[in-house]
A and B are shown apart, each in its own frame.
Chain A
Amino acid sequence: MTHDDYRDALAWHALGGLPAPELAAHLDTCSPCTAELDRLRDTAAHLALTAPPLEPSPAHLARVLDAIEAPALPRIVVRPIAAPARRPATRQPFGRVLGVAAACVVAVLVVTQVGLLRELAAARRQIAVMRATGAFLSSPDVAIVALAGRHAHATLAFQRSTGRYVFLSDDLDPPPPGSRYQLWVVADGVEPADVVVAASAHGRLATPPRGDAPFLFGVSLEPEDGSDEPTGAMLLLSPVVRTAG
């Protein structure tokens, strides 16, 4: 058979039909037909765009990112442990030494317990912050905006009704001494929204976006005292946001 004999079958396969065994075998060895299949699939994929768009729920992205970050559960292997053979009790001749040792053990346990309690308290605080953040991200009018630049990325979740926001970045370097990052709302004008001093920050936007006008967020490096308008290049910018107010 020639390439032409497979043309109809290639088109059908590109639309999602299963290939006949003969076509599948042919594709394994024929690069022109494989390339044609890629082109046909690329054309067929245009159809996806004709469905009316549907905005995902506000928490959808957070769920995706959570799923990515969730570590795989460790595999627990349970092995039977043989019970140790009982030994007859023997009298310890060094009772005092044992008493001191026991006291040391108790002391170590107390110190360890104090450390563990501190860690537990810190973990509880962290969980509370995570819960609060999760609740915030799940709020109905919270929008999540990705900011991107050449050297860093960030995610900004903000609530139009209250101006509250959470800003997170993994790769934003600490600002040089004497400077800090500043968050801007760019709409009809450029207005300082807040000062972002680190890779993660939260608070309320000093100048929340007003009305329904489209806007975008930007982050620039500014003097430590902050600026009324950007003096440095925008290191991070979001796409235009048109969330209804």
Chain B
Amino acid sequence: MPTRTAIDALQRDAAADAIPATDAALLASIACGDRHALATLHHRHAAMLLGMLHRLLGSRADAEDVLQEAFLQIWRKAGEYDPARGRAVHWLATLARSRALDRLGVAAARRRLDASHAASDVVDACGDDPSDAATDAEEARRVRRALAQIPDTQRAVLELAYWNGLSQSEIARRLDAPLGTIKSSARLGLAKLRGLLGDDESSQGLS
């Protein structure tokens, strides 16, 4: 029967040596043509990215298509990732979101205000708890806690802009607020979010 010592040795190996520690390292390997690094990155973040794409596009089939396009783009552009400019997981999310917005077209994205909220509710029911996206899940909880601490108008501006692609004027009309307030709310909201998330940013293991 295997001994506990053997399990401890395995876990020690995993922690010390065998598993690439960071997404940035995986992207560097992908830039050198390492398909397995791409598979590892997919294993780690595909669920998070697919959730985001589903919320943006409202269709699982479209979301999976765009996710595939995004990973092909990651394969081609991994060498362009610069750790000094931000965390790798955010680079992935930004790249995937851009693909989704390309597919929607800005005008279509803006028309999808109500549908996208409905879509996010549906995802809750069918979303798994992907084991290897555990770090993403922890990070998501942290972000949600931070967003909850942001003033309502600032949070609404961030979410309407990010998820619905609304223009500043459209957000002003929807929130019945002056345009100047909307413009400053985007800046203040991001600054507040950065402040709330920034303290332990360096401790995150994803980049």
User: Is B97 touching A191 in the complex (CB atoms < 8 A)?
Assistant: no
Whether a CB of chain A sits under 8 angstroms from the CB of B176 is: no
Partner of A148, one of B3, B20, B197: B20
Whether a CB of chain A sits under 8 angstroms from the CB of B81 is: no
User: Is B14 touching A234 in the complex (CB atoms < 8 A)?
Assistant: yes
Whether a CB of chain B sits under 8 angstroms from the CB of A57 is: yes
CA–CA, A15 and B185, complex, Å? 12
Q: Which of B24-55 contact A (CB under 8 A)?
A: 34-40, 42-44, 46-52, 54-55
User: Is B120 touching A67 in the complex (CB atoms < 8 A)?
Assistant: no
CA–CA, A188 and B13, complex, Å? 17
Q: Please, what's the 1-or-0 string for A144-166, where 1 marks a CB less than 8 Å from any CB in chain B? A: 11111110011100000000000
Q: How many residues of A contact B (CB 8 A)?
A: 72
Q: Is the interface of B mostly helix, strand, loop or mixed?
A: helix
User: Is A55 touching B190 in the complex (CB atoms < 8 A)?
Assistant: no
CA–CA, A189 and B1, complex, Å? 8
User: Is B120 touching A237 in the complex (CB atoms < 8 A)?
Assistant: no
Q: Which of A45-53, A79-87, A113-121, A127-135 lies at the interface?
A: A45-53
User: Is A41 touching B194 in the complex (CB atoms < 8 A)?
Assistant: no
Given A40-B190, A153-B39, 17 more A-B residue pairs with CB atoms under 8 Å apart are A8-B183, A8-B186, A15-B158, A16-B162, A45-B86, A48-B97, A49-B143, A54-B60, A55-B130, A68-B35, A146-B43, A150-B17, A153-B40, A228-B2, A236-B18, A237-B18, A239-B44
8 examples of A-B residue contacts, CB within 8 angstroms = A15-B186, A45-B93, A46-B139, A49-B140, A51-B54, A56-B67, A155-B39, A171-B36
